[in-house]
Each structure stands twice: as structure tokens, then as C-alpha cells.
Amino acid sequence: MINLMDNKIIKTFMYLSNTVQKGNLRDIKELKEKLDNNTLKLERIYDSMYIDYKILENLIDLLPAIVFLKDKDNRIIKANKKFYEETGVDESILNKVLHEIDSNNEKFINSIKKYYTNDLEVIRTGKPKLNIIERLCFDKNGSECDLYKTDKIPFVVNNEIAGVACFSINITEIFNLLKNEGISI
């Protein structure tokens, strides 16, 4: 008795046998060549896109600002090196909702909660919030809270707001310098 799998194998063999008998072997070779050429083209496109991605990632890592992306659920989905340096957290926080983050850095968690209020407004309105001056406490190396200038811009995927791109610069030293010079902001 022939089972279902044997039947499929027999049908496939018969199809290939008929194709070869009809002289269509040339067609099969042409299809294989086209497939090989398309695969090679796709590999080249992928390699080129990967190189572009790495260049952009390296460039963003060189910025003196904290740069990160958050989705609508307050998950940090991508961050640059400066983000990790300033906050004192590592990549284990990526793609986790706030209550899933296992961090001893309570100040970081509180800062992220504070950030989320502005994030929701940007997501809801689709309008950026620029030049936000705020004190954030990340407690990296036991430091005091620092003063940051932050811009939050909606980022769009497939014509829909997917989250917020955040850019923050630590302005504590500049602020203190101006304060020491008697210049008020």
C-alpha cells in the first residue's frame, strides 16, 4: 500500500521525468540560472543595506547626545552608547515594558516614567516637543540629578506613529558655568 508521502514523491518524480522527456530540461536550467542571479542580487542588496545600517549606527554612537527610540508601550527599542553611559543601564532593558526591567537603578526607572508623560503627548498629537529642560536622575556613579535639554519627535513606520525618537543633551556643566558667571537662564 502506498502512503500519502510516497504518492507525492511518485508524482514529483513523474513530473520531472515528463519534463525531461519533453525536452524542457533547458527551461529548468534557465529557471535555476534566474533564481541564482536573483539570489545573488538580493545578497548584494542586503550587504549594501547592512553596511549603511552599521555606518548610521556608528555615527549615532559618536554623538555627544543620548539618542533612543521608544515604542507606544514605553519600551526602549534602540539606544546609542551615550544612553548607556549616562543612564548606567545595559542593553538588557531593550524591548521591555517598564515593569519587566530588572534594574537596581530606581532613579532610572523613575526618570523613564517621567519621560513617558511627554512621550504620550507626542504620540497622541504627532507633534514634536522641543527644548524640554528637565532634571533627570540616572544615579550613574552616585551622582546628583543632572539637567538635560531634550527633544522628542514622533517616528513613523508605514504612515503610522510607532513611537518617539528622543534626543537629550546633558547641559548641567553649561548651566553651572553660566550660573557661576552670574548669567541666569
Of 21-25, 59-63, 174-178, the poorest mean pLDDT is in 21-25
Phi, psi (rounded to 5 degrees) for 94:
-60, 140
- At 160, the amino acid letter reads E
Of the candidates 35, 24, 148, 131, the residue with the CA atom closest to the CA atom of residue 83: 148
pLDDT at position 161 over 90: yes
Which tops the pLDDT comparison, 150 or 182?
150
Mean pLDDT of 127-140: 83
* Cα separation, 89 vs 140, whole angstroms: 9
Per residue in 99-110, pLDDT tens?
Answer: 677 666 666 777
User: Identity (one letter) of the amino acid at 117?
Assistant: T
- What is the per-residue pLDDT for 65? 94
Q: Is residue 67 pLDDT above 70, yes or no?
A: yes
Q: Is the pTM of this model over 0.75?
A: no
Which grid cell sits at 57?
Answer: 549606527
**Residue 134 belongs to what H/E stretch?**
strand 129-136
Angle of the 25-62 helix axis to the 4-21 helix axis, nearest 10: 110
Q: Which amino acid is at 20?
A: V
User: What is the pLDDT, as a whole number, of residue 156?
Assistant: 92
- Residue 137 CA to its chain's centroid (Å): 24
Residue 69's nearest CA partner among 170, 155, 151 is: 155
* Alpha carbons within 13 A on the beta-carbon side of 44: 6
Residue 182, strand partner residues: none
Regarding predicted confidence, which is higher, 26 or 118? 118
Question: 4: pLDDT confidence band, cut at 50, 70 and 90?
Answer: low
